[in-house]
Amino acid sequence: MADNQRYLATGETLSLRLRPFEVRMLQIDHADDACLPPFPSAIDAGATIPLSPDLTRVSCEPLLWDDDGAKPLIRRVLNGRVGMADEGESFNPNVLHDERDGHIVRTVLRGSAALPPTSEDTSLLIVVRLSRDGIYWHHRGLYNIIKAAVSIDGSETEASSMPHRWHEQAGMWSWILFLTPIESADRARSADLRIETCLPKDVDCEVSTLLFAEWDSKL
């Protein structure tokens, strides 16, 4: 039996720990000629609480290639798609795999969500997924072009990003997560969110916000 395989007896329970934005595929085969037990249908979501921050786009500014102030942001977008697309102060649009990537806008989203009272410390998770025409849109360094800020009852708190590194292997990132620790409280509180993106104008940005009771930052 391979290292990543195991046998289950009929009626035995298999528990898998997934973070709210993760999906895992399972292959369940017959161990012998016996009948395969029914596939499990119950999923325990644990102490995950979906939030509805009602995000609103408050600004959307096109980034122009001849604007010196916009060049650093444009570089971050292009270099994460095609490698080093620029030399010094000049840009080479001919290296773009998709010319739509050259039409970049800086967008700011704002919203607020009510945090329920909790007896234990929790984590506020903001998950941003990107797609274009129904297909995931990938980038090597999303932490460079998507930022998030969180304020709890008017007091700004840290929102660390994950992954927070340049993708150096095959494939790229189509999602980024922001994590904010929330201390326990016996009263409801308000979380104000600000998300800033620098993306091609036709890339869709889907934002999910959750309150998560158990979080291991090493996962």
CATH code for position 114:
2.60.40
Q: With respect to residue 168, please indicate whether it lies within any of the assigned structural domains.
A: yes
**Dihedral angle sign, alpha carbons of residues 176, 143, 123, 60:** negative
Residue 99's pLDDT is what? Answer: 82
Instruction: Return the SS3 of 182.
Output: strand
In a domain, 82, yes or no: no
Contact yes or no for 182/113 (Cβ under 8 A): no
Q: Domain range holding 200?
A: 49-59+104-212
Two tokens at 61? 């500014």
**What pLDDT, on a 0 to 100 scale, did the predictor assign at position 206?**
95
CA distance linking residue 65 with residue 62, whole number of Å: 10
Return the pLDDT at 79.
Answer: 83
pTM of the model: 0.74
Query: Is 15 within a domain?
Result: no
- Rounded Cα–Cα distance for residues 187 and 118 (Å): 8
Quick check: is 88 in a domain? no
- Provide the domain count of the chain: 1
Residues in the chain predicted with pLDDT less than 50, given as ranges, are 1-2, 36-46, 218-219
16, part of any domain: no
The SS3 of residue 180 is strand
